[in-house]
Structure 1
Amino acid sequence: MRLTYIGPVLAGHDHPALEELDARRLPPSCYLVEVGEDAGVDGEIIEGDVLVIHEARPVQHGDLVVVQGEDSLRLCRSHRVGGRFRLMRTSGPKESFFARQPDCRGVVVRLARA
């Protein structure tokens, strides 16, 4: 699913989904993305959700991970295989691909829904 970069996590951010978010409790290596319309409205993550992404957190098995696609940021689920990760798309074609830690743009640490 496509993600739209919103910006770094800052106190007083005016996005409606972030009213409950305390930015002071998150490290400065976090940023926000909004889930695109290709997510639909009947899954774990739906259109319009805002995700808090931690850039410095290492990817683990089963994490939701942000990777750079050909034209946008994409959300994938990670499956650890040795020193690499097999990343599976969370929506769209059920294709998977191998990646290493440096290929990942961050790990989802929080979901906010308006």
Structure 2
Amino acid sequence: MRVNYLGPVCMGIDHPALRGYDLTAFKASCYVVEVSEDAGVGGPLIEGDLLVVDEQKPAQHADLVVVEVEGEQRLFNSHRIGGRVRLMPTAGPRESIWARQSDLRGVVVSQARVVVA
């Protein structure tokens, strides 16, 4: 699924989903992406969710990772095998791809969602 870059966490991004979050608790290596509409509205990730991504954290088994594919930032589930990572799409076609740690743009460390009362 595609994600859209919003900016570094340290910039103090003003978004309703981040209200109540202590953004100073995140490292300077963290940035925020928004999940695009291809996520849909059901499941653990939905359209409009914000994800905090740490670009310095190495991917482990079963992490959510951001990878640039064909000029777009996309979200994958990781399956670590030795020094390489097998990336499984979180939505869309089920074809997996291989990557190295250096290909990854970061690991998701937090998720935020706008709660409508």
| Superposition TM-score tier, normalisation by shorter sequence | over 0.9
Report the residue type matching 1:66 in the other structure.
Answer: V
Residues 36-66 of structure 1: CA distance to partner in whole angstroms, max 9, x if unpaired?
0000011111000000000000100000000
Q: How many residues align?
A: 114
Contact map agreement 1:11 1:22 (CA 8 A) in 2 = no
Gaps of 5+ in 1: none
1:70-89 correspondence to structure 2 within 5 Å: 70-89=70-89
**Residue 112 (structure 1) aligned with residue 112 (structure 2):** yes
- Separation in 2, partners of 1:87, 1:66: 10
1:1-114 correspondence to structure 2 within 5 Å: 1-10=1-10, 12-114=12-114
- SS at 1:13's partner residue? coil
- SS at 1:24's partner residue? helix
Residues 15-34 of structure 1: CA distance to partner in whole angstroms, max 9, x if unpaired?
11100211111110000000
- Separation in 2, partners of 1:103, 1:13: 26
Following superposition, the deviation at residue 103 of structure 1 comes to 0.3
Q: Point out 4+ residue stretches in structure 1 off by more than 2 angstroms.
A: 10-13
Following superposition, the deviation at residue 12 of structure 1 comes to 4.1
Gaps of 5+ in 2: none
CA RMSD of aligned residues (A): 1.0
Percent identity, please. Answer: 60
- Separation in 1, partners of 2:12, 2:70: 32
- SS at 1:109's partner residue? strand
